[in-house]
Structure 1
Amino acid sequence: MGRPKNQRARRRQIADAARRIMLTHGSDGLRIRQIAGEAGLSAGSILYYFPDMDDLVIAVYEHAVERFSTRRREAAEGISDPSERLAAFIEQGLATGPDDEEVYLLHVAIGAFDRNPAIKILDRVLFDRQVAVYEAVLEAGEASGAFTLAGTSQEVARTLVALEDSLNSHIVTGNPAITRDVALGLVSAYARLATGVALRSVT
């Protein structure tokens, strides 16, 4: 049996191959033989590390969740102004366009696996993490006197995340009526109503 660190690297190699396939073909395109070819491994190796295809999809999804969450957190680091900080979170929470890989994986490519209980749990975890981030920003802004919230911080945060989720699905599927700029305007308009402040963009 290989060393643990080598096994982790091999699992990452396989998950990266599956990720590339999902980005071009969606979850319906995942086949053992195709993954093996993309990873440069045998079909037996794929099944050794991921006997259940759902486990492989979960590994891809988990990585996308971490990358998405990290980019949001890093975008607002060092920003002290509440309005600018909130704007940064909103901007990073929306897909950059149809080619935004992380958002595409989270909202579209998971496809046929979205009924998997583990995927549902991860989806709720992602939602709750984003809500918690928004709550912290909103509460800090309210405490400083910068924001006058139209509801509880949790209500506003949940609405912001729900708006992002819905709009992101339109952006990454190429709906011409909902571009990133349109989506940014819609979420920012709600944020203005919910906080009493016109956001100052950081981009």
Structure 2
Amino acid sequence: MARPKNQAERRIQLIAAATRAVLEHGSTGARLADIAQNAGLTSASVLYYYPDIRELFTAVFERGSAEYCLRRERYVAEAATAAEALGACVRSGVPRPGVTEETSRLLYELAPIVLRNEAAAARNNTFIARQAALYEKVLRDGQESGDFRLAGPAETLARGFVALEDGYGMDVLTGAAPADEVEQALLLHARVMTGTSGIR
């Protein structure tokens, strides 16, 4: 098989194709043939670039998690006060119809890969740490400005926010709880953990 002139472009194409396959079938149901069909290639062509399909799924997770975090960080950066920033941080983590829900679903669907692949697990750790760092910065900024009276260390509270989001996010995606209800629960938690009623 001839080597394509732009391998980076082909890998991007395959990551996009695998993303669609995972969203349609889940990481355990997506087949090599599904990915190849989405990419308009043969299965052999897919394997040329990703001999281990788990490596391709790991690349899907890495891109999806990076885009998810970048979108959150941009949203939070637009806030004018610490309270607004924490509210924005909370809202940006609730799966709602559109890009947020799609990316959240993709990352949840890839959980089996994260649990069984060392490289994917490392990407997941980076993903969690990046989200926690965003929360921690917002919490520390609010504490330093005098707007927040934190109920515990900022680092611990930040990681707790991410853990709560993970659980509540699954509730939204499975239909166990509506997004509005989850958002209000997380905002209440934010108000309690910061000692301020100004987080909306």
**Do the aligned partners of 2:190 and 2:199 also contact (CA within 8 Å) in 1?**
no
Letter in 2 for 1:77: A
Tell me, in whole angstroms, the C-alpha distance in 2 between the residues paired with 1:67 and 1:120: 18
Unaligned 5+ segments in structure 1 are: none
Tell me, in whole angstroms, the C-alpha distance in 2 between the residues paired with 1:81 and 1:36: 48
Aligned-CA RMSD value: 1.6
Tell me, in whole angstroms, the C-alpha distance in 1 between the residues paired with 2:112 and 2:151: 38
Identity %: 35
Higher relative contact order, structure no. (Cα contacts within 8 Å, ≥ 6 residues apart): 1
**Do the aligned partners of 1:86 and 1:199 also contact (CA within 8 Å) in 2?**
no
Tell me, in whole angstroms, the C-alpha distance in 2 between the residues paired with 1:161 and 1:12: 29
CA positional deviation for 1:111: 4.4
Unaligned 5+ segments in structure 2 are: none
TM-score computed with the length of structure 1 as normaliser: 0.91
1:20 aligned to 2:3? no
TM-score computed with the length of structure 2 as normaliser: 0.92
Aligned to 2:96: 96
Aligned to 2:72: 72
**Do the aligned partners of 2:191 and 2:199 also contact (CA within 8 Å) in 1?**
no
Tell me, in whole angstroms, the C-alpha distance in 2 between the residues paired with 1:40 and 1:2: 14
Residues 151 and 104 (structure 1), Cα distance of their counterparts in 2 relative to 1, 3 Å cut: same
Q: Which moved more, 1:24-33 or 1:10-19?
A: 24-33
Q: How many residues align?
A: 196
**Do the aligned partners of 2:187 and 2:199 also contact (CA within 8 Å) in 1?**
no
Residues 50 and 89 (structure 1), Cα distance of their counterparts in 2 relative to 1, 3 Å cut: same
**Do the aligned partners of 2:76 and 2:89 also contact (CA within 8 Å) in 1?**
yes
The within-5 A match list for 1:42-191 is 42-97=42-97, 100-107=101-108, 109-114=109-114, 115-175=116-176, 178-191=177-190
**Do the aligned partners of 1:171 and 1:179 also contact (CA within 8 Å) in 2?**
yes
Tell me, in whole angstroms, the C-alpha distance in 2 between the residues paired with 1:59 and 1:180: 28
